[in-house]
Structure 1
Amino acid sequence: MAKETFTEAMAVAKDPQDSKATKPKTSFIGFIADKGIFVFTGILVLTAVLFVDGFASLQNVTDVFHRAAPIGIVALGMTFVVITGNYLDLSVVAQAAAAGVILIAVSNAYNLIIAFAVAFVVAIIFALANGIAVGYFKANAVIVTLATTYIGLGLLRLLSGGSQVFGPADGPIATFGTSKLGPFPYSAVVLVAVTLILTFVLTRTNFGFLIRSFGVNSSATRLAGTNTGLIVIGAFMVTSMAAMFAGFVLAAFSNTAVSNMATGFDFQALAAIIVGGTSVFGGKGSVPRTLLGVVFVSILSNVLVLVQVSYGFQQVAIGSLIVLAVTVDALGRRVSKK
């Protein structure tokens, strides 16, 4: 208990000259950085309901959450890596694809239990490879996870022959992909469940506290006697588990899987995380805010589709949104230090 108290005190300690940072800030930039996602999501939803035909239908709303689920689950898990200050995990693309292919291919040959076990082992291997390289050898997380992405996708293509695998039409995977709990598809239920579990882990466990304290002040956390390498491995482990479940959900959508099925997941998940207010500088963020970022980006994409905006302009809009969110975050941090 004493260790945790000392770590917390050290992690949040500020230079005496920065004592003003603890005072509430009322600047516009500070407000936007902290509360903007709530305001802009409300404005976007209200505008879409009033002016976009078909948006407010129950079918469209459930479809938005259904399609957002895989990317959302990845983003929720990656939030842990971003909070530690390691920026992101690019290998979620390979991890989600591997999980989806393994789920269908291995369950076809054996059964679901063995498929789950194999996917779980693969997720652990990814987490250990990324976490050890970044946490213990201090390698750049972007380069490491980019390398494990290429290695993972290469091995997946070699083992699967690059071909698409199909599950039985009446099997449990296909059933999951088309079933609903009331009006909500199972994929959305999984998204909510993952949100609740990871929120508890980040806010109510010692591991979650260490993730946040390491992101705020890694040196102080290390000086307090904490094995910071294990913290980084743990963050990558959470991301890998989330990517695994995202791959399962994605494979269930069409009851098929292929090695390139998760292309773009890294960028889209990062967009949701940043828009939700998790700082790329580490130490600041939350799982519910990431979920809100997922909702905002998904609704924006849905609205652009409904008003028949081309895919190219959709990419420009999402990219511009990320630049704006990062800029506001940086300005907000600068204002809070004045």
Structure 2
Amino acid sequence: MSKETLTESIAVGKTPPAAGLESRRASILNWFAERGVIVFTVVLILAAVLFVDGFATLPNLTDVFYRAAPIGIVAVGMTFVVISANYLDLSVVAQVATAAVIMIAVSNEFGLVAAFAVASLVALIYGVVNGLAVGFFKANAVIVTLSTTFIGLGILRWLSGGSIFFGPEDGPIRAFGQARLGPIPLSALLLLVVTAVLWFVLTRTTFGFAVRAYGSNKASTRLAGVNTTAVVVGAFVITALAAMIAGFALAAFSNTAVSSMSNGYEFRALAAIIIGGTSVFGGRGSVLRTLLGVVFVSVLTNILVLSGIGFGFQQMAIGALIVLAVSVDALARRAAKK
């Protein structure tokens, strides 16, 4: 386009063809990055119903959501950390396992209320330590949470001796794990309740607005007078409390607990968050779309299991999804800046 033509287009308020094409491309990429999970989840479920034997049975669908609940609760909680532009909380592995062991071991001796109290206290410690290290001391979130993972798992294995803890067959944790409302497991309903509460916190409270603002522009949020350290600490505390609830759901699943039971939870949760359209660069995300991401990952894993595909290939599929989702998000941001 010549300078004269470009000048005329600007003068009359028209968008040059090249700029219009870039704008449309950015819009398409942004739509896929944020809302593509809705279409992909529907297509995946329809394909599974039509082509995968055993998928559309009530026992299988119940099992899918039963198994998805602990990871889903971790994912909707960790969405706050990701939106705050702190990438992820690797220590959820240690947090979930610690909560599960506490739930079984403490409730066996002192009851479920005491177990929840102890688990909540430990979750607060995790959240505050991670949040202060990242928010106040400006340490790298990945390094900090990797360190607290090793510390937490080390303490757990030292105190538990690596033992497997079993709950009584007639205990409240076992009762919760087996209970259903119609065909729906209570653990799946717990996931929905946690998601609804965190959706409200993220979208309807000043704290939720501050988390999104901080993830979008840390300097501007700080200059606006927001206590950014409190924002980061709050995001990590929410993640830790969600991990504690996930530990309870995981313990209820088998009525057992051991220090290695939550291995891989951090990356499965991250996969659900990113596939759900939350940007790893911060500032943009949705708890509800994270829930859709959880459904997508859980259904995909179930399809692979029913198809006889091994665990190694399942890991490869989830890794490929993370790379694809992050790439689309990066392309969308780059196109929006042009």
- The equivalent of 2:211 in structure 1 is 211
| Aligned-pair CA distance for 1:108 | 1.0
Query: Which digits, 9 at most, give the CA deviation of each residue in 1:243-262, with x for residues without a partner?
Result: 00000000011111011111
| Aligned-pair CA distance for 1:26 | 6.4
- The equivalent of 1:5 in structure 2 is none
Specify the SS of the correspondent of 2:169. coil
Which runs of structure 2 are paired with 1:156-305 in the superposition (5 Å)?
Answer: 156-305=156-305
Asked if the contact 2:100/2:250 (under 8 Å) is kept, the reply is yes
- The equivalent of 1:94 in structure 2 is 94
| Aligned-pair CA distance for 1:27 | 4.6
- The equivalent of 1:15 in structure 2 is none
Distance 1:278 1:184 in 2: 28
- The equivalent of 2:114 in structure 1 is 114
Structure 1 stretch displaced more, 39-48 or 67-76:
39-48
Asked if the contact 2:34/2:276 (under 8 Å) is kept, the reply is no
Distance 2:202 2:105 in 1: 34
Asked if the contact 2:70/2:247 (under 8 Å) is kept, the reply is yes
| Aligned-pair CA distance for 1:29 | 2.5
Query: Which digits, 9 at most, give the CA deviation of each residue in 1:189-243, with x for residues without a partner?
Result: 0000011000000000111010111111111110011110000000000000000
| Aligned-pair CA distance for 1:31 | 2.9
Q: How big is the alpha-carbon RMSD for the aligned residues of Structure 1 and Structure 2? A: 1.3
Specify the SS of the correspondent of 1:225. coil
Task: Give the partner amino acid of 2:107.
Answer: S
- The equivalent of 2:337 in structure 1 is 337
Closer, same or farther: CA 27–211 of 1 in aligned 2, 3 Å: closer
Task: Give the partner amino acid of 2:67.
Answer: R
| Aligned-pair CA distance for 1:35 | 2.3
Specify the SS of the correspondent of 2:215. helix
Runs of 4 or more off by more than 6 Å in structure 1?
23-26
Distance 1:156 1:30 in 2: 42
- The equivalent of 1:311 in structure 2 is 311
- The equivalent of 1:13 in structure 2 is none
- The equivalent of 1:46 in structure 2 is 46
Closer, same or farther: CA 26–156 of 1 in aligned 2, 3 Å: closer
Closer, same or farther: CA 223–24 of 1 in aligned 2, 3 Å: farther
| Aligned-pair CA distance for 1:310 | 1.5
Asked if the contact 2:26/2:332 (under 8 Å) is kept, the reply is no
| Aligned-pair CA distance for 1:179 | 0.8
Structure 1 stretch displaced more, 36-45 or 245-254:
36-45
Closer, same or farther: CA 28–57 of 1 in aligned 2, 3 Å: same
Distance 1:77 1:272 in 2: 12
Task: Give the partner amino acid of 2:298.
Answer: S
- The equivalent of 1:12 in structure 2 is none
Unaligned runs of 5+ in 2: 1-19
- The equivalent of 1:82 in structure 2 is 82
Asked if the contact 2:34/2:278 (under 8 Å) is kept, the reply is no
- The equivalent of 1:16 in structure 2 is none
Task: Give the partner amino acid of 1:184.
Answer: I
Task: Give the partner amino acid of 1:31.
Answer: W
Query: Which digits, 9 at most, give the CA deviation of each residue in 1:285-312, with x for residues without a partner?
Result: 0100000000000000001111111211
- The equivalent of 2:4 in structure 1 is none
Q: Could you tell me the percent identity over the aligned residues? A: 66
Asked if the contact 2:74/2:92 (under 8 Å) is kept, the reply is yes
| Aligned-pair CA distance for 1:46 | 1.0
Task: Give the partner amino acid of 1:52.
Answer: V
Query: Which digits, 9 at most, give the CA deviation of each residue in 1:24-59, with x for residues without a partner?
Result: 866542332232111111111111111111111121
Query: Which digits, 9 at most, give the CA deviation of each residue in 1:58-105, with x for residues without a partner?
Result: 211111110000000000000000000000000000001110100111
Unaligned runs of 5+ in 1: 1-19
Closer, same or farther: CA 305–275 of 1 in aligned 2, 3 Å: same
- The equivalent of 1:29 in structure 2 is 29
Asked if the contact 2:127/2:233 (under 8 Å) is kept, the reply is yes
Distance 1:56 1:283 in 2: 37
- The equivalent of 1:55 in structure 2 is 55
Distance 2:82 2:294 in 1: 15
